[in-house]
Each structure stands twice: as C-alpha cells, then as structure tokens.
C-alpha cells in the first residue's frame, strides 16, 4: 500500500518535471541543438554507434570550451534502427519537432538518399561522414567522407606504381561498389589496361562461400603479370574472404588486396596475422603520427573509458565536419542553415593527419589520401601518402554523362550539377 | 593558418633526412641497416640488397627477422634486438652480443617497417641464400620460389647444384627449373628440346613460358611445337578445373547438409517448422568461441571438445524449446512458426546482450588451415576437406542412431503412427522431446563446423535458415538420404553455375529451379512411400 502511494507520488513528480522541462525548452532557445542521426540498433549499429559516441564527445568538448555563440550545444540523438525509410522519418522529427540547427548522420548511401528530400524540403543541413560513390551534390548536404577520387583512384595509382598489370574488381552487389567499379574500370581503360586484364565480380551481402571466386582470382593472377584485387566487399563478408585467401595460400606479396571498407574498427574483431600486407586506402589511419591525432585518441579513450577502442576514418570525418560547422557558425554569427551553408564554403580546419582540410564549393572537402598495409596488431602502416591534399570531386571525370558536370554552390552559379558543355543547370536538386 | 599550410607542405617536400645509424658489429651491416631504416621504400630495398650481399654469418637470420617483423631496434642505443616475452612483457636481447637489456616498454623500441614489394624481395633473396641450406624442405621451397621468376642464368646455376643434390624431390624441381630456363635459350634447337621436356607439366612458369613462345618466337617450328604443348597442358588444366569445381560444390553442399540435417529430423520427421533452427546453429558456434576463450593455448583441442559441448548446449536448448513451447502447438503449424520465430529473436538478442553485438573471432587450428597441393593447378583446402568428411560422419552417425537404436525405432514409430505407437507403450511425449533434442544437437554440431568457415555473430543463424529449409524440402521431407543427396546436389549445381552466371545469379537460378521442381514433385527428390506418407 505504502509502495503504491510512493509510486503514485513519484509518477506525479516525473510528470511535473517533464512539463517543466518542456516549458523551458519552449521558452528560451538558450541551447543550440545538434541532431545525431545514426543507427543504434539493427545491422548497421556496429559501425554507427561509434559515430554517435564521437559526436557526443565532440559536443561535450565544445561545451567545456564555452559552447558556441555564448550558448551551450545540446545533442539530440535519435535511432533510425538501420531502417532506410525510418531515416527519413527521424530526420523530419529532428528538424520539425526538435528544431535542430544541424544534423550529423547516416552511413549507407541508401540511408543518405532516403533523407535527402527531407533536408531539401525543410532546408536544413546534413554532414555525411562516410566514403561514398560520388555522383551527387546537394545544397543541403556536406560530404566529409571520401569521394571516389579521394580513395579509389589514388589506391589504384599506388598499385600501378607497384607494377600491377591485371586487376580484379570485387564487390558486394549494391550501389557503392557498382558505381565505384564503373569509375575504376573507365579509369583503368583510360590508363591503357586491356579489357582482358580486368575481372569484375559481384557477390551478395554476407557472402560466405568464397572458394570458387578465390580460385578464379588465383587463376587470373597466375599468368605471370602482377595482379591485385580492388575490393569494395562490404562488412561481414570480408572475414571469410580473407580467410579463404589465406587457406588457398595467396599472400599479399602474390596478390595484394586493397580494400575501401576495411578499417581499424572492422579489423578489431578478427585475427589479422594472415592479412599482413593487404592494403586499405583511407584519409586517416589511427597510426597517423600527429599531435592532433594523439590528442584525439586520448580524448576518445577518456570519453569512452576503454583504452582498447580504436579510431577510424569516418570518426575523423565527423571531427572535421563538426569543426567546420563551428567555424561557419562563428563566421555567419547565426545558426541559420542557409547563412551557415554560404559561410562554410572556404572554411579550413585542421584534420587529424597534420594538415588543413577545406570545404570546397561543391560541398566536398580536401583530404590527404593514405595507403596503409595491415599489420598483425590490427593497425595500418602507412606506405604511401599523396604529396598534397586531394579535392573531393562530386562528379567523376571518368564516367559518361558525369564528366561534363560540375558543382558550385557559390552565389552566381548555385548549382549542384552544372553542365559545362550545354551551360545549363539540370535543375534537379541532387 | 597559411604559415601552417606552408610548414606542412615543406615537411612533405623536404627529402627524408638519413635516419640515425644502427650500431652493429660490422660496418657493412651498419650501412645496410641505416638504409633499411630510411623512410623511402626504394632506399630500404637497397639496404636489404646490401644486407643480403654482405658476408655476415647471421644475415639469413637477420633477413628473416626483417621479413617477419621480429627484429627490432632500441631507440636509445641503436642496437638491434630480438624481443623475448618475459612475464607478459618483452625483454630485449641484443642480436650480436646476446646481452639482455631487460624489459623495455612499447615506446622504447621500433619495428623495421617494410612493404609488400620488400617482402617479395626478401623472400627471393632468402630463396637464393637457402639453395645451399642443409634442410631439403628449405631447398625445395627455394627452388620453387625461384621457378616463379625464371631467368636464363638459372639453367647454369641449377645445373651446377643438381650434381650435388641428393633429394629426389629437389632434383625434380631443379630439373623443371632448368627446363623452364632453357625455354628462353637463344638457340632454337635448345628451346625445342626444352619444350619436349616440359610437355605435360602443369607449372604456371611452364605455361607462361610456352604462351610466350607460342605467341612471338622468331622460329616457326618452336612456335608450333609450343602451341601444341600448350594445348595438351590446357586440356589437363581444364580437366583439373572440373575436379576443383566438383570439390567446391561438394564442400558447399556439405555445409548445406550439415545445416539442414538437424532440420531434416525436426521438420522432416516430426513435422515441426522450427524457425529457431538457425539460432541453434549459432549457439553451437558460440559454444566453440567460449571454449576457445577458456583454453586459448590449445585451439586444436578446443575444436574437438566443442563438438560434444555444442551438441549438449543446442540439444538441451532444443529440449527446453520443445517442452516449453512447441508441445502445446502440435498440429498448429502457423502458431508453431510464429512462436519459434519469436524464440529465434529472443536467442539472438540474448547473445547480443550476454556476449557482444559484434562478431566474435574464432581461430582456426593449424590442421584446419592451409591446403593440400595435389599438383600445380589443383589444391584442396584442408578446412573444406575436413568439413566434408565431418559432414559424412555426422550423417552416418545419425543414420545409425535412427536405424539401429531403441530411440531411433521409437522415433520412426511415433512419426509414422503416433496413436499406434502410444498403444504399444511408447511414451510419445518423451520421444518427441528427445527427437527434437537430437535434431537441435546436430544443429549445434553444424555450428562448430560453420565457426571455422564464416563469421560468428548474432546473425549467423539467419543466413542458413532459408538454405536449410530449401535442402530439406528439395530432398524430400522425412528422408535423411534426400537431405544428403539434395544438399550435395544443390552445392554442386551452385558451383557449376557460378563461373558463368556469377555468385548472385547462380543463387537465384538455384532457387527458381527448386520452385519449379517442387511444382512438379511436391514431395521432393525422395518422397516417403506407403500409407504413412499419405496420412
């Protein structure tokens, strides 16, 4: 009986508190709200939860430094549960109901495509932190991950320097690998590689029986010409793929595999001894030596309270994106999305590899491209680095129909897909 | 900010300063290692070359150390050291004096960084150095390594070595190496003799040499003979290609059979649509993981122990599911389906909460890694080979249990005519529970096998549930032979189609084929005959 009374009293108190907090939120916008749109459940939770934590850490740090424009930053976290249509709903909820000033989020291309119309309709800003296939430039999206020319093409260039003559393009069957491989195929052919020296292979999500494909690769690579695999194989399927390579006796010296979706986080779950020497191309590795990186790793370990956690490329992309947004808000003096969108172009902030990344007019950023070899401790050893920074290219120069397009969101042009031949903006939003 | 950019650019542009020298007991080695420590991989490669060319007695050991990353250097006194584990930390032992520098923290020593090209280079250099090794296996590996990079000078080198060689296998390899080298001899007659000698050989070096000769040799006779020899070889390669495809098919099929055979009992014999079957497989895989965690030193033993343990874990879970849920739902397939689907979600979430939402690493024991080289074009991977044998053993065991044990007799009796069996004194409830436990236990055993092939994670089961049902329905419900033949058949069909249709389309085609097949023969490959089947 006493318990019941207590419970009732408690629930009343909670209700009062809720009303109170809602009232304060409505009264004064004394905080700046930052939306975080990453899946915390479902298949993508493995990767995206880390990015949510990264954002919370960055916001906490900024608040310790005194917030922004004299106000505190307030994170609003929602869970789109790896469900693509739900991404759009949650984005609408963040913008319309929570009235956030900016959103950091999405991982897969399909989730980005799902939220794009919402951001354009409600004119809000999204920072997208993952490497993607390009062929897109929206007024409302800032792409802080790598475009194909900031990851895939430099990786292929590196392998060419190493004397690779035959190419296997292996990928999971969905939009990112298909588009990337189309670009790479065109690029290789432009470099004089014969069609017979390119093998393209697609596998379903989560493919686990790699015997015949690896045997094919082995056969393809036994003609005496140096062969390499360019892998856009996604997530889970990589482990049995690398295992099969090891079992069939293919080492990184015979046929190196360069991957675009395998980073520190993915390697932390597997035994990397058989993988030593295989490559990955990113714009950041945890093993980068710079003061910014040391500070970032230290802050991350302190925030997550686990010394074993790794950092990876998309985390760096959020770090850059968040700092760019801060600079742009300070420059514009307001958090109004269109003012910030105009102000952010040209803003340059330090990246974690010791340089400065700048936001370009096509809403992509400049980044160094690093090639690393996998080590037996799950880290990468950098074996090649572009001499300068590479500007992200929204529209690939190697694809029909896209090579004439440019993107420039500055005032006179303000177009994401301006055709330099016909001198027309196609008018489509993205 | 601009100044920062300039500094960064300058930093990138300044030529790498020569790294601090290494101190060894030999000035030639000092120079070599100073180069190996350089940032530029070209300079590093020169350093490795110099190391191999020096006449230091420890150079093979040192090259190996660089190759395998075991060789480190101490920052403070620039000495090269081997790291030896001592009380969970690393003690540094001087390479040359053997002096023990005691435990050194991680930041105090460095690895000698190398890349793929250098690994290849060092292996090549080691191969040349080890041609005179006292171990025949090392000599054989060295000759085979050098075969890959055929060079006319090899003919003379191997000719000299052949005179002293005693080991038959090494002699054989050296003779092939001489023949391959003679393929590029300037004298056409020599080349033709070499072609005759290598004919029928499956070595890639031979094939590449012949392809080169067949395409652009100045001598007509050489060209035709090379083309002829090449054709014979290609035919043999193709033949072995088919053997390989069939092996791949059998291996994929054995995985399907393993995953499905438990279901063949619970669904085939008992008629229960168990959507949680995949999760029972997953539990088996996680049991393997947990046992491995408990005994990280003995990976091989842990796999063997995991087989009975996984059988028990999944079997008991199965019995609990049967007693707790399914027995109330006999004769109501839709409710069973929904209830077991719910159980599958609960089991998945349980693993996510108790262990980790991420995939867990399961190591392969040594006897399950590597491959059995039958000849240069055909090699069978051990893990697949063992799993195929394992599948046959499980099948045979299960078959014997059903055929020759009391439980097996009762299971067959209850499945054929429940009320008659009960009238004869069979406790049908107990038999149901045990049968379900048996089927579930087998699923757990399948999980042990799968843990060696694929990711172990909460979603492991989902990947196999559809395939398992497919195999059971295709093979014929209620027939173990059907499951075996159906599973292996589907595996081979899949692998035969994969080369020309691609992995995605092959899978779709197999599914379409099964749908059509079931339309024609609803009871599968081996339908149950007799009155019991009609009931």
DSSP state letters, A190-226:
HTT--GGGEEEEEE-TT----HHHHHHHHHHGGGSS-
What is the C-alpha radius of gyration for chain A, rounded to an integer number of angstroms?
23
**Count of CB atoms situated within 10 Å of the CB of B13:** 9
8 Å CB contact of B12 and A240: no
Half-sphere exposure of A156 (CA within 13 A, CB side): 26
Tell whether B5 lies on the interface with A, counting CB pairs under 8 A.
yes
Tell whether B38 lies on the interface with A, counting CB pairs under 8 A.
no
Looking only at Cα atoms, what is the longest distance across chain B? 95
Cα of A272 vs its chain's centroid, Å: 23
φ/ψ of A4, rounded to 5, equals: -60, -45
Kindly state the tokens that stand for B299.
């990976």
8 Å CB contact of A209 and B120: no
Closest CA of chain B from A372, distance in Å: 9
Task: Report the pLDDT value the prediction gives residue B10, as an integer from 0 to 100.
Answer: 44
Closest CA of chain A from B211, distance in Å: 9
Taking CB atoms and an 8 Å cutoff, what residues of chain B touch A202?
Answer: 502-504
Tell whether B348 lies on the interface with A, counting CB pairs under 8 A.
no
pLDDT digits (tens, 9 = 90+) for A342-358: 999 999 999 999 899 99
Mark out the alpha helices in A132-174 (DSSP H runs): 152-161
pLDDT(A129) > 50: yes
CA nearest to A366, candidates A336, A324, A328: A324
Chain B residue with Cα closest to A354: B8
Rounded-to-integer distance, Cα A389 and Cα A133, Å: 19
8 Å CB contact of B379 and A248: yes
Q: Name which of A30-34, A112-116, A117-121, A204-208 the model is least confident about.
A: A204-208
Tell me the torsion sign for CA atoms B101, B103, B105, B110. Answer: positive
**Count of CB atoms situated within 10 Å of the CB of A14:** 10
Kindly state the tokens that stand for A85.
């249509």
pLDDT digits (tens, 9 = 90+) for B246-270: 999 999 999 999 999 999 888 877 8
8 Å CB contact of B384 and A211: yes
CA nearest to B369, candidates A378, A373, A242: A242
CA nearest to B170, candidates B211, B207, B202, B127: B127
Mark out the alpha helices in A221-309 (DSSP H runs): 238-247, 264-267, 291-304
Taking CB atoms and an 8 Å cutoff, what residues of chain B touch A256?
Answer: 116
8 Å CB contact of A203 and B370: no
Chain B residue with Cα closest to A204: B504
Partnered with residue B84 across adjacent β-strands are B91
Task: Report the pLDDT value the prediction gives residue B530, as an integer from 0 to 100.
Answer: 52
What are the boundaries of each domain within chain A? 30-147+295-368, 149-288+371-391
Mark out the alpha helices in A275-312 (DSSP H runs): 291-304
pLDDT digits (tens, 9 = 90+) for A310-319: 999 999 999 9
φ/ψ of B381, rounded to 5, equals: -75, 140
Cα angle value A239/A240/A244 (rounded, 5°):
120
Rounded-to-integer distance, Cα A353 and Cα B357, Å: 31
Q: Collapsing DSSP states into helix, strand and coil, what is residue A78?
A: strand
Element (H, E) at A370: strand A370-374
Residues 354-373 of B with CB under 8 A from A: 357-361, 363-364, 369-371
Task: Report the pLDDT value the prediction gives residue B87, as an integer from 0 to 100.
Answer: 65
Task: Report the pLDDT value the prediction gives residue A377, as an integer from 0 to 100.
Answer: 83
Residues 6+ apart with CB under 8 A from A427: none
pLDDT(A265) > 90: no
Rounded-to-integer distance, Cα A86 and Cα A84, Å: 5
Computed over every residue of chain A, the mean pLDDT equals 87
Partnered with residue A423 across adjacent β-strands are none
Rounded-to-integer distance, Cα B344 and Cα B242, Å: 39
Residues 6+ apart with CB under 8 A from B125: B48, B49, B52, B63
User: Do A421 and A411 meet the contact criterion of CB atoms below 8 Å apart?
Assistant: no
Rounded-to-integer distance, Cα B112 and Cα B51, Å: 14
Tell whether B144 lies on the interface with A, counting CB pairs under 8 A.
no
User: Do B38 and B19 meet the contact criterion of CB atoms below 8 Å apart?
Assistant: yes
pLDDT digits (tens, 9 = 90+) for B164-179: 778 888 888 888 888 8
- Cβ-based contacts under 8 A for chains A and B: 119
User: Do B460 and B285 meet the contact criterion of CB atoms below 8 Å apart?
Assistant: yes
User: Do B490 and B253 meet the contact criterion of CB atoms below 8 Å apart?
Assistant: yes
Q: Which of B116, B205, B245 sits opposite A373 (nearest CB)?
A: B116
8 Å CB contact of B453 and A269: no
Low-confidence ranges of chain B (pLDDT < 50): 1-20, 532-535
Closest CA of chain B from A212, distance in Å: 7
Chain B residue with Cα closest to A206: B463
8 Å CB contact of B360 and A46: no
Protein fold of A149-288+371-391: Rossmann fold (3.40.50)
Average pLDDT over residues A335-339: 93
Between residues B11 and A392, the one the model is more confident about: A392
Kindly state the tokens that stand for A217.
């690769």
Chain A residue with Cα closest to B361: A270
Rounded-to-integer distance, Cα B191 and Cα B213, Å: 9
CATH 3.40.50.2300 fits A30-147+295-368, yes or no: yes
φ/ψ of B267, rounded to 5, equals: -90, -45
Task: Report the pLDDT value the prediction gives residue B86, as an integer from 0 to 100.
Answer: 67
Element (H, E) at B172: helix B168-182
Tell whether B150 lies on the interface with A, counting CB pairs under 8 A.
no
Residues 6+ apart with CB under 8 A from B307: B445, B448
Residues of chain A with pLDDT > 90: what percent? 56
């Amino acid at each position: 009986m006493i318990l019941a009374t207590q419970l009732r009293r408690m629930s009343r108190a909670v209700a009062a508190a809720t009303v109170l907090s809602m009232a304060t939120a409505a009264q004064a916008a004394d905080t700046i709200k930052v939306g975080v749109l990453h899946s915390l459940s479902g298949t993508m939770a493995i990767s995206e939860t880390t990015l949510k934590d990264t954002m919370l850490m960055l916001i906490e740090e900024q608040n310790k430094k005194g917030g922004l424009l004299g106000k505190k930053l307030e994170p609003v976290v929602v869970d789109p549960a790896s469900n693509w249509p739900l991404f759009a709903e949650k984005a609408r909820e963040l913008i319309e109901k929570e009235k956030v000033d900016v959103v950091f989020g999405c991982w897969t291309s399909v989730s980005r495509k799902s939220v794009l119309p919402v951001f354009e309709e409600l004119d809000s800003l999204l920072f997208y932190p993952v490497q993607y296939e390009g062929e897109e430039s929206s007024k409302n999206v800032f792409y802080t991950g790598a475009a194909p020319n900031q990851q895939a093409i430099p990786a292929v260039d590196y392998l060419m320097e190493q004397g690779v003559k035959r190419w296997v393009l292996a990928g999971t069957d969905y939009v990112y690998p298909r588009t990337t491989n189309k670009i790479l195929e065109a690029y290789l052919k432009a470099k004089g590689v014969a069609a017979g020296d390119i093998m393209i292979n697609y596998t379903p999500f989560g493919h686990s029986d790699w015997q015949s494909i690896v045997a094919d690769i082995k056969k393809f690579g036994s003609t005496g010409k140096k062969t390499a695999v360019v892998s856009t194989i996604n997530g889970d399927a990589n482990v049995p793929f690398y295992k099969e390579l090891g079992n069939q006796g293919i080492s990184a010296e015979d046929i190196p595999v360069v991957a675009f979706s395998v980073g520190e986080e993915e390697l932390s779950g597997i035994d990397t001894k058989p993988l030593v020497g295989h490559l990955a191309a990113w714009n950041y590795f945890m093993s980068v030596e710079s003061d910014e990186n040391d500070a970032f790793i230290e802050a991350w370990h302190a925030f997550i309270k686990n010394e074993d956690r790794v950092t990876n490329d998309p985390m760096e992309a959020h770090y850059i994106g968040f700092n760019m947004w801060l600079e742009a808000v300070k420059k514009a003096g307001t958090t109004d999305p269109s003012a910030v969108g105009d102000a952010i172009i040209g803003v340059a902030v330090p990246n974690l590899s010791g340089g400065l990344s700048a936001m370009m007019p096509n809403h992509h950023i400049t980044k160094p491209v690093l090639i690393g070899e996998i080590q037996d401790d799950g880290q990468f050893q950098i074996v090649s680095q572009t001499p300068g920074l590479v500007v992200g290219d929204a529209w690939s120069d190697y694809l029909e129909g896209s090579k004439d397009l440019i993107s420039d969101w500055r005032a006179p042009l303000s177009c994401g897909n301006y055709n330099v031949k016909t001198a027309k903006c196609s008018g489509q939003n993205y | 900010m601009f100044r920062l950019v300039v500094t960064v650019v300058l930093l990138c542009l300044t030529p790498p300063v020569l790294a601090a020298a290494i101190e060894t007991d030999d000035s030639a080695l000092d120079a070599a290692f100073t180069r190996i420590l350089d940032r530029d991989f070209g300079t590093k490669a020169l350093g490795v070359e110099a190391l191999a060319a020096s006449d230091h007695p420890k150079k093979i050991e040192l090259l190996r150390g660089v190759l395998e990353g075991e060789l480190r250097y101490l920052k403070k006194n620039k000495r090269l050291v081997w790291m030896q584990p001592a009380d969970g930390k690393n003690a540094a032992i001087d390479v040359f004096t053997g002096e023990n520098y005691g435990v050194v923290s991680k930041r105090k020593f460095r690895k000698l960084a190398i890349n793929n090209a250098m690994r290849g280079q060092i292996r090549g250099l080691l191969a040349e150095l080890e041609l005179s090794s006292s171990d025949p296996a090392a000599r054989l590996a060295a000759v085979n390594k050098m075969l890959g990079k055929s060079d006319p000078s090899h003919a003379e080198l191997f000719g000299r070595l052949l005179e002293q060689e005693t080991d038959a296998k090494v002699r054989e390899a050296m003779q092939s190496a001489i023949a391959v080298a003679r393929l590029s001899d300037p004298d056409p007659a020599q080349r033709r003799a070499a072609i005759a000698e290598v004919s029928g050989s499956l070595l890639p070096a031979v094939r590449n040499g012949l392809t080169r000769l067949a395409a652009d040799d100045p001598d007509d006779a050489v060209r035709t003979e090379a083309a002829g020899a090449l054709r014979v070889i290609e035919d043999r390669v193709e033949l072995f290609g088919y053997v390989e495809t069939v092996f791949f098919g059998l291996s994929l099929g054995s995985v399907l059979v393993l995953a499905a055979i438990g279901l063949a009992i619970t669904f085939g014999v008992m008629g229960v649509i168990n959507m949680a079957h995949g999760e029972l497989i997953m539990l088996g895989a996680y049991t393997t993981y947990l046992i491995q965690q408990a005994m990280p030193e003995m990976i091989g033993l842990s796999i063997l122990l995991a087989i009975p343990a996984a059988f028990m874990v999944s079997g008991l879970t199965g019995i609990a599911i049967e007693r707790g849920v399914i027995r109330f739902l006999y004769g109501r397939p839709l409710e069973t389906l929904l209830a077991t689907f719910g159980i599958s979600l609960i089991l998945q979430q349980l693993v996510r909460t108790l262990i980790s939402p991420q995939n867990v690493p399961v190591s392969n024991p040594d006897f399950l890694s590597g491959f059995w080289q039958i000849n240069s074009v055909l090699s069978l991977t051990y893990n697949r080979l063992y799993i195929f044998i394992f599948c046959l053993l499980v099948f045979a065991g299960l078959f014997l249990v059903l055929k020759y044990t009391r439980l097996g007799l009762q299971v067959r009796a209850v499945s054929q005519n429940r009320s008659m069996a009960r009238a004869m004194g069979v406790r049908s409830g107990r038999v149901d529970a045990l049968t379900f436990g048996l089927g579930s236990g087998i699923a757990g055993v399948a999980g042990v096998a799968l843990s060696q092939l694929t990711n172990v994670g909460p979603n492991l089961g989902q990947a196999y549930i559809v395939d398992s049902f497919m195999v059971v329905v295709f093979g014929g419900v209620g027939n173990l032979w059907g499951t075996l033949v159906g599973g292996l058949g589907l595996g081979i069909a899949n692998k035969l189609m994969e080369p020309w249709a691609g992995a995605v389309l092959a899978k779709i085609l197999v599914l379409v084929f099964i749908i059509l097949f079931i339309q024609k023969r609803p009871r599968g490959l081996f339908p149950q005959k007799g009155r019991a089947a009609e009931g």
